[in-house]
Amino acid sequence: MARRRKTSSIGPIDLVFILLAAAGLVFAVIGLFIPWMGSSAAEGNIEGGSMGLFSEELSKRVDARELLDQSVLPVGLVQAFAIIGAVLALVCVAGVVIKAAKAAKINGLVSLLISIATIAVGVLVAVFSYVLGGDLSTEMGDVSVTSVFPIVGMYFCAIGTVVSGVMMLLKRN
């Protein structure tokens, strides 16, 4: 009697995990390239607007604050964590696909550590972005002259990274 070969089929629940993890990756990568920080001004002579994570304007604002001898969170730290978040989201998508297809056995501890690291990096992207925005905001007396705050790019990157990590965490073999 011939042995039947196991076929690995991806079920509908597995497909949902794969799609959500992939959507998280797409959001994380898109978030890197769309406006990351926004600014508003209370006075008419200062323009508000948006800045990308890798834009020269953001770097110039950080350099200008450092010239005034004020401590500012390095923009390179935010950039590094955003890139690490996107890479970890990619790793989580690959892990979810491997787990869903049962192509290889992934150790539960490795899967747990990767997913927790991905979620933590996603949260740190948001925290560091808010700290950087607070550092770049300027105040004169009781009135805030320029307010800098995270916008769509940061949310896309942070939420996408966390979603991919959660899908890896929830996907069981």
71-126 pLDDT per residue, tens: 888 899 999 999 999 999 999 999 999 988 887 777 888 999 999 999 999 999 99
Q: Does a structural domain hold residue 165?
A: yes
Whether residue 5 lies inside any domain: the answer is: no
Which residue range(s) make up the domain with 57? Answer: 12-40+53-62+72-170
User: How many domains does one find in the chain?
Assistant: 1
Q: Is 1 domain-assigned? A: no
- Asked whether residue 43 carries a pLDDT value surpassing 80, the answer given is no
Cα(124)–Cα(84) distance, integer angstroms? 11
Kindly state whether residue 113 falls inside one of the protein's structural domains: yes
Residue 3 within any structural domain of the chain: no
pTM: 0.85
Residue 131 in domain? yes
Inside any domain, residue 111: yes
- Give a yes or no: residue 116 inside a domain: yes
